[in-house]
Structure 1
Amino acid sequence: MSKDRIDIFPSRMALALMKARLSAGQKGYNLLKKKSDALTMRFRQILKKIVENKTEMGEVMKNAAFSLIEARFISGDFNNVVLQKLSSKAHIKVFQKKDNVAGVQLPIFEAISEGGDSYELAGLARGGQQMSKLKKVYSHCVKLLIDVASLQTSFIALDNSIKLTNRRVNALQYVVIPKVETTLHYIVTELDEMEREEFYRLKKIQATKKRQAIQKEKERIIVEEKLTLQQERMEEYGKGQGKTYAKSPTKKGAKDEPKSILDDSADNDVLF
């Protein structure tokens, strides 16, 4: 049972602490659940785009291969012309930017064309139309590859984030929150038991005090009865001897106050 709850001493402060922890855990669970749903939705969108782009890339690569064969058939071997026109600067550059999805930074690659066409004179002698088509097809193929790389990178990042978020959600749902709830139930049960014990203790104390008061009252009544009986016997004995004994004026329930030894008044005779 101790494994299913937190080891804590049951008290009012512990009860307030567990309630605050339970509230924080439930809020965290709701936020992480919403984050997981948002990431999952974006994950499916990216997966759909990856499938579409890869399907399109297959067709584009096939057209590019056929265009290359057509251009070589008409224009001949133009590898030397392409190698001579190579420059130190790239015609297509890739820039990276970030996209924020529910707190997760996703890398996005963007292709940007800079400068003019270095191969605008290629195919001028013959096969110009095929060379122009070949350049367009391969340019589109490069941009499509960059898009697929961007989507694939975002796909992997989202997959890792979704796994991490789902582990946290499951930990809160099946471990942390049930443990706090069990601890809260334990504290409430123990506090109720303490209150019942305190109430029973107070009732026992009250019953004991009441019983003691009744006992004292009975003892006082017995003492008064004995004193009254003794006084009556003394009066009867005095009458038989021709003497009278005055009864001290005492209130009912009040004890006789002792006389002072310095008092000059005459005391009653004491018979032995």
Structure 2
Amino acid sequence: MSARDKINIFPSRGAQTMIKARLAGAVKGHSLLKKKAEALQMRFRQILAKIVDTKTLMGDVMKDAAFSLAEAKFASGDFNQGVLQNVTKARIKIRSKMDNVAGTNLPVFESFEDGVDNYELTGLSRGGQQMAKLKMNFKRAIELLVELASLQASFVTLDNVVKITNRRVNAIEHVIIPRYERTLSYILAELDELEREEFYRLKKIQEKKKQARDRAEKEKAKLKEQGLDVYGHANLIADNEDEDLLF
């Protein structure tokens, strides 16, 4: 296992607890990010379908607007210069707001009318019906253009966010979580090895103590065979409590 396959950390119980907590957090974060990516992709497909429908409708509306402009010019003559000279401010304006989707702010544009129609008397002498149709068709065209611009802005924003979210999900799933799992396996293996070494060390200590006791028993048996008082001699093996010495 190379250094890039796991986190460089000293194997201990504290490190094991920390890596377990990080692994649990990574798994939970992966689940939340995956749900966010699914929600964003669902909204992305909805916006894409709306863009296709709006563009299809936009072609029909612009065609009707162009025909109504030709009809109005035919009925009322060339009125472009008169309209342009009287224009002081736009009557149809745009405002923007934000739509929150799974923590992502999407720009939304809306059109609204500000003021009154200064050209309601245009075409009164002739071509009034064609002028009203012209206004209605171009107003519908502007509203569709604003809606399409809003959808396109949301589409681009969502496209970037979906790509970033998917990269994060893949990074957590294929890099971070496996690295934590390998680190945890490494810590557990090292702790098991330390436990085996400690068990072997304690076993050897017990064996040494048993050998020392056996030697002491043999020495006592020899002294007893020689008729010596084995209980009168100090036992070097026994852990007797000595009195404190004061100097």
Q: Same fold (TM over 0.5)?
A: yes
Match of 1:233 in 2: none
What corresponds to 1:34 in structure 2?
Answer: 35
Contact 1:85 1:119 in 2 (8 A): no
Cα distance in 1, alignment partners of residues 178 and 96 from structure 2: 44
Task: Name the counterpart of 1:194.
Answer: 194
The residue matched to 1:115 in structure 2 has which SS?
coil
Once the 2 structures are TM-superposed, how far is the Cα of residue 214 of structure 1 from its aligned partner? 0.6
Distance in 1, Cα, partners of 2:182 & 2:63? 63
CA distance in 1, matches of 2:124, 2:187: 89
Sort the Cα spacing of 1:255 and 1:156 in 2 relative to 1 into closer, same or farther, 3 A: same
Per-residue Cα deviation, 1:68-121 (whole angstroms, up to 9, x for no partner) = 11111222211122123212x210010011111111111111100111111111
Identical counterparts, % of pairs? 58
1:255 aligns with 2:225: no
Q: Distance in 2 between matches of 1:66 and 1:211?
A: 113
Q: Secondary structure at the match of 2:227?
A: helix
What's the TM-score once normalised by structure 1's chain length? 0.83
TM-score, length-normalised on structure 2? Answer: 0.91
Distance in 2 between the 1:73 and 1:208 partners?
118
Does structure 2 conserve the Cα–Cα contact (< 8 Å) formed by 1:18 and 1:183? yes
Amino acid at match of 2:38: D
CA shift for structure 1 position 37: 0.9
| 1:223 Cα deviation from its structure 2 partner | 2.2
CA distance in 1, matches of 2:80, 2:231: 134
**Contact 1:81–1:122 (CA under 8 A) maintained in structure 2:** no
Counterpart amino acid of 2:110?
E
- CA displacement 1:105-147 (0-9 Å, x = unmatched): 1111110011111111111111111111011000000010000
CA deviation map 1:149-171 (0-9, x unaligned): 01100111111111111111111
The one-letter amino acid paired with 1:255 is G
Residues 50-84 of structure 1: CA deviation (Å, up to 9, x unaligned):
11111100110111111111111222211122123
Aligned to 1:147: 147
1:80 paired residue number: 81
1-structure distance, mates of 2:111, 2:145: 10
Provide the aligned length of Structure 1 versus Structure 2: 233
Matches within 5 A, 1:12-161: 12-87=13-88, 89-161=89-161
AA of the residue aligned to 1:204? K
- Any conservation in 2 of the 1:99–1:105 contact (CA below 8 Å)? yes
Q: Give, in whole Å, the separation in 1 of the partners of 2:114 and 2:149.
A: 20
SS in 2 for 1:227: coil
Ranges of 4+ aligned residues in structure 1 off by more than 2 Å: 253-257
Root-mean-square deviation (CA), in Å? 1.4
Gaps of 5+ in 2: 235-247
Match of residue 237 from structure 2: none
Given that residues 6 and 179 in structure 1 are in contact (C-alpha distance below 8 angstroms), is that contact kept between their aligned partners in structure 2? Answer: yes
| Per-residue CA distance 1:208-234 (angstroms, 9 max, x = gap) | 100110111112211221337xxxxxx
